[in-house]
Chains A and B, each alone.
Chain A
Amino acid sequence: MSTRPTPRVRVPGNIKAGDVVEVKTLISHEMESGQRRGQDGKPIPRKIINRFTATFNGKPVFDADWHAAISANPYQSFFFKPSENGELKMVWKDDDGAEYTATSRITVS
């Protein structure tokens, strides 16, 4: 799998001020645990996304450290209580230093 990981994010629409909403995310990634051995008997080096961060207008909302035990194509859901309009930014950090980003406009009524 050498295609670039693609994040997918679902935020419910029609948010009222004070609502607590559930954000669901999914990103394509093999999450190679570093525990497997290849055909040649050598360990396959670890390559996972080790951190997920969600911020709203720059303020931390939720973050997760992922270890080797997280499944391939990791799913992450979390809750969020927006009280103003703004931007929800999500960043996935790869072992190799790469960062994958997704943003969602949040409008509260």
Chain B
Amino acid sequence: MAGPIVYRTRRNVLHMAALAAATSVIAPSLSKADSKAVEAEIKKLYDGKAMSEGRIKLDVPQIAENGLVVPITVDVESPMTEQNYVKAVHVYADGNPLPGVLTFRFSPLSGRASASTRMRLAQTQNIVAVAEMSDGSLFTTKAEVKVTIGGCGG
């Protein structure tokens, strides 16, 4: 008995092409960061220094339909004077191929330690932000974003 016959219809060919394209897009995302990689990145910068919760707010959607364009806003409470301001904010994603997302650096001229951009997320994951104040103290926060369609293939 012969096996099942697959007719090379136009539709079949198109399906196969689509499948091939999909796998080539997904394949690179197999290597990905995890929460340990994020911790390692933070340790590289601050060498395990104690971090407090609070003062930093991470504004990300709870559910992102399109992982290619996920809005992100960080906002840190600070008077933003020459003596007391937010030096930097680092943002990491623990389920992307690479953990680093961005670093913002502020100055007293910023007036307010807040900034927004858009990021790509490969899958549902945690976003971790660390803020460094001008006196050297660190604050951190975390938020989960559920991603419906991953943004790895671009």
- A interface residues with partner B (beta carbon < 8 Å): 20-21, 32-33, 35-37, 39, 41, 43, 56, 59-72, 74-82
Contact = CB atoms under 8 A, between A and B. Distances in A.
Interface string B115-127: 1111111000000
Nearest to B71: A75
Contact of A67 (B28, B100, B109, B153): B100
A39 B23 CA distance: 11
Given A35-B152, A70-B119, A64 B109 contact: no
Interface in B80-127: 80, 93, 96-98, 100-107, 109-121
A79 B120 contact: no
5 contacts: A62-B104, A65-B103, A71-B70, A74-B118, A77-B115
Nearest to A24: B116
Contacts of B25: 36-37
A35 B115 contact: no
B16 to A, nearest CB: 14
B154 interface: yes
Contact of B115 (A37, A70, A78): A78
Contact of A61 (B24, B27, B110): B110
A20 B68 contact: no
Given A59-B107, A62-B110, A69-B96, 18 more contacts: A20-B112, A32-B154, A33-B97, A33-B120, A33-B154, A35-B29, A36-B152, A60-B109, A62-B115, A63-B104, A69-B98, A69-B100, A71-B118, A75-B117, A75-B118, A76-B116, A80-B110, A81-B110
Given A70-B120, A79-B112, A79-B114, A64 B102 contact: yes
Given A43-B28, A71-B68, A79 B101 contact: no
Contacts of A68: 97-98, 100, 120
**A interface secondary structure, majority:** strand
A33 B25 CA distance: 12
Contact of A76 (B107, B117, B120): B117
Nearest to A44: B154
B88 to A, nearest CB: 9
Contacts of A64: 102-105, 115, 117
A97 to B, nearest CB: 20
A36 B109 CA distance: 39
